[in-house]
Structure 1
């Protein structure tokens, strides 16, 4: 609001409350009508969000998850721990607290995850993907520890063994496990969900191929 019709100079956009009080003067108020820039507002919000500690960001997103029924109200310790992992993995993708609702797959049961049908048809129904997905499912079942680094290594070992390029399998895995074609780092996401959920979701996706 301060910058609607007022500026300190041509480069300063961020102020503390004390700096606002110190620098504001009516003499620098522009006589022209102010214009509201939603993109600039979102940019301010993004900078503010990223400046917060992880704990503060988690505290802001939890009420949205609770109201959406994705976690208990009040949330449990395990749910808070998972939320923290999602917030950390999503990073600057979470610009406002409500953006956490873009990641319901990390809080839903395996059979609740909704598939983007277009992405499913393009990535999972694609010719030749089913046997690759079945074999990668088995690779996941044997991966230990089940963390992002180990999963990254498992993927690279798999594509080398199969003699394929990563895009031939990684997109199918993402859609099978999260229901979506895009998201934050796949290996971080797999690690957050855990081995059992990842295997169960791939099995569910493979089952849909028979529909």
Structure 2
């Protein structure tokens, strides 16, 4: 095994990359970068029947969006390529034949129909059919047939698979960096298929050969691969190769805590489960999440830094990450927590950057000159961002900075609009007209002095005034709104509102 840390993320291009896959890639990346190692992206496309057009490109774009950059991959290249298994298929047959010659694997000619018959027969007897030591000498393979019979079948072009010959009556003691020691009775293992007559290896053979040839030092993968650990260790032993260190990550669980998080959970709960959109499914990017927020919440799904810190940038994650602090049990996915992370990252962004992100939304929503004034938009963002989780929330929080209200909150109007309110609002309009300099502080001083001098309650004036300017009882400091929209606009909104609410 190589001294240098070399890890790989090896997805199959059979569809979009689920966030569980992104987390696996992230943990590999963090581990590699912590130890100045290499992160390799390898595309495992040996299953051509399940290959989905565009899936490989999606995987690469999703990782790139998350800031998970491969040191070696199909697009960046490297010294251990090619990095697509379909381009390496010429390698695997020799290794399968090597195991055959050593008596550690065998040809099996059983037809799918025959195997199906055995399975059904076992089911009727309340048993499970396993192809291994207890029945392999009775089935149609090179262990039960003579050399001549095997040769005749091969010469005749009969379909075959090459199966691994699992050992009998042994106890395997396996080590996992997260789960500790695991003991496996080899009598419970089946003789897995390693190679098919179509010239393609199965995942198990290709995976082991590639990890060895690419000098992978650590295999960090999801716990769904735990049942394969025994076979993979046995294959390393059979080839006489040093095995990498293994670490199996906990599952990401449904928000309710039971079962693995799925696409259906996202559809039901109204949250994404993919980093980028795929067909009809919304991605985190399109839902308005920042990649840094996605990376941050994924990192803490199953890993605990051992401190109270929750917000980490990528460099901080690299420094803090350790496999020792990865949990064994599944991590419950919390959609509200993901929003909390995005809220935090939004607050950390500069107002200028947020204004730029808000511009395309404004272009669709408003024809106002202010909707194209980046200086003005930047000021608006500074005033409303505290309550936003997403840039997409800005319009709902601050549309009144760009457009006068067309309607007024009915419940608020009923409560605020009393007898005498129109006259008070007209007097406020006069103060707004005559206040110089026209600024938030000067307006606040003049209007509050007028309220006090006339022995009015602040509630009688401030609520109705906000309603006329905003259309609702929401928004930042009222006098800041007055200053931002400008004198003429403010007076016009007050007068229009008086007319609309008095006649309704």
CA distance in 2, matches of 1:202, 1:149: 19
Match among 463, 471, 474 for residue 179 of structure 1? 471
CA distance in 1, matches of 2:333, 2:453: 55
Q: Which residue does the alignment assign to 2:497?
A: 205
CA contact (8 A) 2:366 2:402 kept: no
Deviations along 1:24-48, one digit per CA (max 9) or x if unpaired, are 3333221222112233322322222
CA distance in 1, matches of 2:335, 2:375: 33
Name whichever of 149-158 and 8-17 sits farther off.
8-17
Q: Which residue does the alignment assign to 1:104?
A: 399
Match among 408, 416, 422 for residue 115 of structure 1? 408
Change (3 A) 1:140 1:53: same
Q: Which residue does the alignment assign to 1:18?
A: 315
CA contact (8 A) 1:6 1:29 kept: yes
CA distance in 2, matches of 1:192, 1:113: 19
Change (3 A) 1:194 1:65: same
- Greater relative CO, 1 or 2 (CA 8 Å, sep 6+): 1
Task: Flag structure 1 segments of 5+ consecutive residues without an equivalent.
Answer: none
Corresponding residue SS for 2:503: coil
CA distance in 2, matches of 1:34, 1:45: 19
Q: Which has the larger radius of gyration?
A: 2
Q: Which residue does the alignment assign to 1:138?
A: 430
CA distance in 1, matches of 2:435, 2:452: 16
Match among 192, 196, 199 for residue 484 of structure 2? 192
CA contact (8 A) 2:429 2:491 kept: yes
Corresponding residue SS for 1:11: coil
- TM-score, with structure 2 as normaliser: 0.38
The structure that is strand-richer by fraction is 2
Matches within 5 A, 1:11-160: 11-69=308-366, 76=372, 79-102=373-396, 103-108=398-403, 110=404, 113-124=406-417, 126-160=418-452
C-alpha displacement of 1:49: 1.6
CA distance in 2, matches of 1:88, 1:54: 6
How many aligned residue pairs are there? 204
CA distance in 1, matches of 2:367, 2:410: 22
- TM-score, with structure 1 as normaliser: 0.87
CA distance in 2, matches of 1:131, 1:69: 32
CA distance in 1, matches of 2:442, 2:389: 29
CA distance in 2, matches of 1:89, 1:12: 27
C-alpha displacement of 1:96: 1.8
CA contact (8 A) 1:4 1:36 kept: yes
Change (3 A) 1:3 1:70: farther
Name whichever of 192-201 and 50-59 sits farther off.
50-59
CA distance in 1, matches of 2:345, 2:441: 30
C-alpha displacement of 1:2: 0.6
CA distance in 1, matches of 2:380, 2:359: 11
CA distance in 2, matches of 1:42, 1:70: 30
Change (3 A) 1:99 1:71: farther
